[in-house]
Structure 1
Amino acid sequence: MTTREVFINNKHQLRAGWRVAAYIISFFILTIPFAFIADFTSKTFKEMPLVKDGLVTAEAAIIAGLTAFLLLRLLDKRRFVSIGLHLNRRAFKELAWGLLIGFMMLTTAVGLMWVMGYEEISLAPNDMNYFLLGFLGNILLYIAVGFNEEILFRGYIFQAFIEGTNKWIPLITISLLFGAAHLGNPNVSVFGIANIVLAGVLLSLAYIQTKSLWLPIGIHIAWNFTQGFIWGLPVSGTTVVMPLTISQETGPDMITGGTFGPEGGAMCTLVCVAACVFVWKFFKPSEEMEKIVEEAVMTAPFKPAEPAAAASEA
Structure 2
Amino acid sequence: MKLVPLFVIKRPAYQRLGLFVIALAIAWLPFLIPLHFLLSYDPNLRSIVTMGILYLEFLILLRLWGREVWGIFAVFNYYGLIWNRKNGTEFLNSLAVGLWLTLALFALMVIFGWAFLQPSRNLINVIFEGLLMSLAVGFAEELVFRGWFLDELERDYSPQISLWVNALIFAAVHFIKPLAEMIRTFPQFPGLVLLGLILVWSKRKFNNRLGSSIGLHAGLIWGYYIIVVGDLVNYSDRVSPWITGVDRNPLAGLMGLCFLGILALFLKFIPSKIVPRK
Name the CA shift for 1:146/1:61 in 2 (closer, same or farther; >3 Å). Answer: farther
Aligned to 2:232: 246
The total of aligned residue pairs comes to: 264
Which residue matches 1:86?
82
Is residue 270 from structure 1 mapped to residue 258 from structure 2 by the alignment? yes
Contact 1:65/1:151 (8 A) holds in 2: no
Identity of aligned residues (%): 20
Pair 1:118-2:119 in alignment: no
Q: Secondary structure at the match of 2:121?
A: coil
1:275-298 Cα offsets, whole Å, 9 max, x none, are 11222345755xxx94xxx4xx33
Matching of residue 182 in structure 1 with residue 170 in structure 2: no
More helix by share: 2
**Matched residue, 1:139:** 131
Find the counterpart in structure 1 of residue 211 from structure 2: 214
Matches within 5 A, 1:222-261: 222-228=219-225, 230-232=226-228, 243-250=229-236, 251-261=239-249
Distance 1:63 1:159, change over 3 A: same
Q: Where in structure 1 are there 5+ consecutive unaligned residues? A: 1-5, 233-242, 299-314
Give the distance between the partners of 2:211 and 2:83, measured in 1 at CA: 9
2:158 is equivalent to residue 161 of structure 1: no
Q: Distance in 2 between matches of 1:55 and 1:138?
A: 19
Amino acid at match of 1:199: L
Distance 2:269 2:38 in 1: 43
Q: TM-score, normalised by structure 2?
A: 0.81
Q: Deviations over 1:220-245 (max 9, x none)?
A: 111111101x212xxxxxxxxxx334
Match of 1:148 in 2: 140
1:99 to partner: Cα distance: 0.3
Give 1:185 shift. Answer: 5.0
User: Which residue of 2 is the match for residue 197 of structure 1?
Assistant: 193
**Equivalent in the alignment of 2:28:** 31
Deviation at 1:43, TM superposition (A): 6.0
Match of 2:3 in 1: none
Cα drift, residue 102 of structure 1: 0.9
Q: Is the 8 A contact 1:100 1:222 kept in 2?
A: yes
| Distance of 1:247 and 1:17 partners within structure 2 | 43
Letter in 2 for 1:269: L
Pairwise CA RMSD: 3.1
Distance in 1, matches of 2:23 and 2:251, equals 32
Please, what TM-score do these two structures have when normalized by structure 1?
0.72
